[in-house]
Amino acid sequence: MTIEEGEFVAIMGPSGSGKSTLLNMIGVLDRADDGKIVADGHDLLLEKDLSDFRSEIIGFVFQLHNLLPMLSSLENVELPTYELKVSSSERGKRALELLKKVGLEDKAEFSPNKLSGGEKQRVAVARALVNHPPIILADEPTGSLDSDNSQKILKLLKDLHKEENITLIITTHDLSVAKQAGRIVNILDGKVVET
């Protein structure tokens, strides 16, 4: 399977088909046993230290947002910038810009437990973008949301994909979500069965 720079691809398949595993391998959260995965010129099976790749090239949006409950929305968005040694003023400025872009600048100091599910997911999208990654991986980003919030998150991701020419790869089991992508890839039992 090849995904071109700036493309929006939806990966579909039933539960257990390997959608999340595929994203985790592209995002180097998991390592493949064999085969070849090349992302942004990096051979992910050969290179040993991929921490820079993960922090500079990949933005990850998880299904359950994975926000740290003891931090504010702003601090959660700032987290990935610590790996890049960004100055505190630049860190705060970028995080606030992104919270504004996702419509949550007024909730920058709120902790995750004071946010709705949709708001938490928008904070997670802002966090994924804070290091200007060229690739966004979104694992069932609308899976735990109602239909209204699902559409808001999907529109936000699509707008960011267009505005910043981000390569956007989402996994979903929802055909209405997948149809909004430029291309749908179906996988079954860990194999691509249809594109």
Residue 155 DSSP class: H
The per-residue pLDDT for 184 is 94
Percent of the chain residues past pLDDT 90, beyond the cut: 19
> Residue 122 and residue 65: Cα distance in Å, rounded?
9
Instruction: List the CATH code of the domain at 8-194.
Output: 3.40.50.300
> Residue 96 and residue 79: Cα distance in Å, rounded?
13
Per-residue 3-state assignment (H helix, E strand, C coil) for 4-19: CCCCEEEEECCCCCCH
pTM: 0.85
Q: Where are the alpha helices (DSSP H) in 86-146?
A: 88-101, 117-129
Percent of the chain residues past pLDDT 70, beyond the cut: 98
pLDDT confidence tier of residue 154, bands split at 50, 70 and 90: confident
The residue-averaged pLDDT of 155-175 equals: 86
The per-residue pLDDT for 9 is 94
> Residue 86 and residue 58: Cα distance in Å, rounded?
17
